Structure 1
Amino acid sequence: MSVTAADIKKLRDMTGAGMMDCKNALNEAEGDFDKAIETLRLKGQKVSAKRADNDANEGAVVALVSDDKTRGVIVKLSSETDFVSKNQEFVDGVNAIAEAALKAFPASKEELMEAAAGTSTVASLLNDLLTKFTEKMELTYERLEAAVVAPYIHMGNKAGVIVGLSSTGDAVYEAGRDVAMQVAAMKPVAVDENGVDQSIIDKEIEIGMELARQEGKPEAMLDKIAKGKLNKFFKDNTLLNQMFVKDNKQSIADYLNSVEKGLTVTDFKHVTIG
């Protein structure tokens, strides 16, 4: 059967693919729109493989929490160009994936791919975005569950944070929002020193000892000096020990204790573009 210009436009409107791609897909599918869409999706997958070595340093990040504020998710979809990352259809797609993630709350990215997104799945939605934009895309997914989870999205969807807190209530949630902004601004590596990976600690001690050695300190003092420097590292790089950016006279731990005695952060997730 002959493919009309109206058919090509209809398929383009449905998929966002290029005119010639739509024409070729319709010809190959003999006018069957469902088969043509599948052909375009298959082409999109090939495009993804061909562009696998490209950098995907742009994109959008979305952080959402449940209505009862006990669960939170972050979804990042990377792209190659800011032309794509700023496209409203792309951003809407990332939001749709985040909403699907929050509703299903899957344990892994692999499970997220199978989650329902509208009338389809997240995997199908991703494929649709790939077909439309023909850029390499990479999906990142994080989740968090706590007594209260508070979100923060940095301007332009360039970073997302979710913070879990140990208690409930409106004041706790608002404090969590402050702490989430702190995470975005100060990029802590862990909640406190107990959460710092041992490899990081070992490296900091090694660096501290070497610096002290270069300063001519006695060999017997190097370990003690390095551990002192490690404490400074913990103060600067762990969330509860950092000074609060909104009030640098108190630490995050002190700030949370002023909101509610014993209030603390149970965990946080921080995802950024690039």
Structure 2
Amino acid sequence: MYTVVAADVAKLRNITGAGMMDCKKALVEAEGDFDKAIEILRKKGQKVAANRADRESHEGAVIAKVNEDRTLGGIIALNCETDFVAKNDAFVELAHELAEQAMMYASKDEFLASDFHGMTVADKLIEQTGVIGEKIEIGTFERIEGPFLGAYIHAGNKIAAIASLSANVEGAADAAHAVAMQIAAMNPIALDETQVSQETIDRELDIERELLTKEGKPANIIENILKGKMQRFYKDNTLVHQQFIKDHNISVADYVKSINSDLKVVGFVRTSLA
């Protein structure tokens, strides 16, 4: 008959992240067989996951990563049910590790099916649901490629962003980080006016046109006023035209040009829990 050894419990806990008592019980049931014990813990996770499938998982950690040459990046939201779990060091560490792997895959489905320490990412999430006792899942999945990327994760891991610059020049690393911080803070809807959807433009025009009509503005001048209103809208809501958060006297585009006259912002992604 298998006798529980503390070193075995510690080893299984290190492999799975499960609690001491859960590891001890799994080893006893498996009669010391590690692979069988891991499978027992995984099945427990499946049972917990099934019971919590309809629970909301609005908390979690949003993590952004870029590769070594800064040409590939990604953001994931590892969601859970409570802020208590979201702040747990082991949970945040798992989110970072998963984000590092996520950027290598073109889609969320490919990422979930990929190998993660001998099991799929999807199975790892089920396992951790059993370990933690809360619904754990991948929420948002974003991936970006570009000439030169910089990432920013806001304190508390609730917002993350990646900025893409046009070239790897002197000062680009600091600039990309600063622009990513801008994206996280100001939540632009598009890179510039050419990338704002027609649906958004039409909605803004309808809102402003209705307000101007109620103010009694003559119909023949409303369209001219609308041009100015939309210029203001683009300035407030598109990244390159926004006031730079570190210097309100210049735009984001002007800031990037101050690093290098040929440097431009060419793309971005942003994710938040809210």
Once superposed, what is the RMSD of the aligned Cα atoms? 2.7
Q: Distance between the aligned counterparts of 1:246 and 1:114, measured in 2?
A: 41
TM alignment of 1:87-106, pairs within 5 A: 87-102=88-103, 105-106=104-105
The change in CA–CA distance for 1:158 and 1:170 in structure 2 (over 3 A counts) is farther
| 2:160 alignment partner, SS class | strand
Contact kept? 1:147, 1:166, Cα under 8 Å: yes
For 2:52, the equivalent position in structure 1 comes to 51
The change in CA–CA distance for 1:14 and 1:251 in structure 2 (over 3 A counts) is closer
Contact kept? 1:151, 1:180, Cα under 8 Å: yes
For 2:195, the equivalent position in structure 1 comes to 195
For 1:124, the equivalent position in structure 2 comes to 123
Q: Distance between the aligned counterparts of 1:259 and 1:239, measured in 2?
A: 17
The change in CA–CA distance for 1:199 and 1:91 in structure 2 (over 3 A counts) is same
1:59-108 deviations in whole A, cap 9, x for unaligned?
11221111111111212201111111111111111111122224xx1110
Identity score, percent: 48
For 1:141, the equivalent position in structure 2 comes to 141
The change in CA–CA distance for 1:43 and 1:225 in structure 2 (over 3 A counts) is farther
Amino acid in the other structure paired with 1:166:
S
| 1:264 and 2:260 are equivalent in the alignment | no
Amino acid in the other structure paired with 1:130:
T
The change in CA–CA distance for 1:12 and 1:261 in structure 2 (over 3 A counts) is closer
Q: Distance between the aligned counterparts of 2:121 and 2:170, measured in 1?
A: 33
For 2:77, the equivalent position in structure 1 comes to 76
Query: Residue 147 of structure 1: CA displacement?
Result: 1.1
For 1:228, the equivalent position in structure 2 comes to 228
Q: Distance between the aligned counterparts of 1:192 and 1:34, measured in 2?
A: 54
Contact kept? 2:159, 2:270, Cα under 8 Å: yes
Contact kept? 1:64, 1:99, Cα under 8 Å: yes
Contact kept? 2:46, 2:127, Cα under 8 Å: no
The change in CA–CA distance for 1:199 and 1:258 in structure 2 (over 3 A counts) is same
Q: Distance between the aligned counterparts of 1:15 and 1:167, measured in 2?
A: 42
Q: Distance between the aligned counterparts of 1:54 and 1:224, measured in 2?
A: 51
For 1:249, the equivalent position in structure 2 comes to 249
Query: Residue 201 of structure 1: CA displacement?
Result: 1.2
Query: Residue 184 of structure 1: CA displacement?
Result: 1.1
Contact kept? 1:114, 1:121, Cα under 8 Å: yes
Contact kept? 2:125, 2:137, Cα under 8 Å: no
Structure 1 residue runs of 5 or longer lacking an equivalent are: none
The alignment's TM-score, normalised by the length of structure 1, stands at: 0.87
The change in CA–CA distance for 1:260 and 1:59 in structure 2 (over 3 A counts) is same
Q: Distance between the aligned counterparts of 2:147 and 2:215, measured in 1?
A: 48
Q: Distance between the aligned counterparts of 1:270 and 1:166, measured in 2?
A: 18
The change in CA–CA distance for 1:228 and 1:18 in structure 2 (over 3 A counts) is same
Query: Residue 28 of structure 1: CA displacement?
Result: 6.7
The change in CA–CA distance for 1:48 and 1:199 in structure 2 (over 3 A counts) is farther
| 1:171 and 2:152 are equivalent in the alignment | no
Contact kept? 2:192, 2:234, Cα under 8 Å: yes
1:192-219 deviations in whole A, cap 9, x for unaligned?
1111122211111111111111211123
| 2:156 alignment partner, SS class | helix
Matched residues, number: 272
Structure 2 residue runs of 5 or longer lacking an equivalent are: none
Q: Distance between the aligned counterparts of 1:233 and 1:208, measured in 2?
A: 11
1:95-141 deviations in whole A, cap 9, x for unaligned?
11122224xx1110111123333444323332332221121223122
Q: Distance between the aligned counterparts of 2:4 and 2:249, measured in 1?
A: 70
4+ residue segments displaced more than 6 Å: 5-8
| 1:232 alignment partner, SS class | helix
Amino acid in the other structure paired with 1:56:
S
Query: Residue 6 of structure 1: CA displacement?
Result: 6.4
Deviates more, 1:37-46 or 1:151-160: 37-46
